Amino acid sequence: MAGAAFAQATTSQMDGLKLDSNQPIQIESDKLEIHDQEHKADFTGNVKVVQGKTTLQAGHMTVFYKAQSGDAQPNGAKAEAGAASISSGNADIDRIIVTDKVFLSSGTQTATADNGSFDMAQQLFVLKGEKVVLSDGPNVFTGCQLTVHMQTGQAQLDSCGGRVQIQLDPKSQKKN
């Protein structure tokens, strides 16, 4: 069993990192630039995203959204590509890239990494870095890539070519 704890990859259930799409999203940053023609929005400086009990923080976040089908607006005016959808909160987000010290927290679970990406279609959140640390209360998992299936909370931590490291607190297993 001890050998399995230091494998090259480990899979775990991280229910705290499930995505709740019914909750509103609040985004804060020092600066926002919307690039209509590229269908993206750049949030720079102290980026903080809160949805329900989940918080994401990073130095920079780029949101890529899908182009709207049809340029016409209800009032007959021609829409700027994507600008109306981002400002109205109806953007069809394709993927999100976060960089510069990423921190993800939900309930008792936290994860830190150098950068990350979120694929909306596959509901996959991938954190990468020289040292990716996933904590669940007193239990700590360390590797180089954390892949979380946001709908199920299923998580996989991969090593950096060496081994994944796990530190478990036996007291955290008692639920009496």
The pTM assigned to this predicted structure is: 0.75
Burial class (CB in 10 A: 0-12, 13-18, 19+), 102: buried
76 DSSP 8-state letter: S
For 160, the 3-state DSSP assignment is: coil
Q: Tell me: the pLDDT tens digits for 107-134? A: 888 999 999 999 988 889 999 999 999 9
pLDDT, the chain, mean: 78
CA distance 43 to 33: 7
- Rounded to an integer, the average pLDDT of 133-154 is 88
pLDDT-derived band at 25, boundaries 50, 70, 90: confident
User: What per-residue confidence (pLDDT) applies to 69?
Assistant: 62
pLDDT-derived band at 89, boundaries 50, 70, 90: low
CA distance 158 to 145: 5
72 DSSP 8-state letter: B
